Amino acid sequence: MDRFEQARALLNAVIGAYSGRIGKAESRAAVQALRAERTPLIEERERLTPGDHGRVTEILQEMPDRLRVVRAGGTLE
């Protein structure tokens, strides 16, 4: 798996973690907040290309921590 594929897989994991949290959210406000955090990631995944070397590097550096936070029930705040 190359770095681009790793970055996409990591984005997919974070998006999936948000989706799981959305499915378990207890309030409409929580669903809206989680969707607001997830939407830019979906958009980025759609825009990301193998030539986006800088952004691929950033995703590989930043998203593991974000994945841990989302899986643990935290938010970006």
Which H or E element spans position 52?
none
Q: Is the pLDDT of residue 19 over 70?
A: yes
User: CA 55, CA 34: separation in Å to the nearest integer?
Assistant: 23
Residue 30: both structure tokens together = 């929580």
- pLDDT the model gives residue 60: 98
- pLDDT the model gives residue 34: 96
pLDDT grade for 22, boundaries at 50, 70 and 90: very high
Q: Is the pLDDT of residue 75 over 90?
A: no
Q: Dihedral of CA 40/43/48/52: which sign?
A: negative
- For 29-55, the pLDDT digits (tens) are 999 999 999 999 999 999 999 999 999
- pLDDT the model gives residue 1: 87
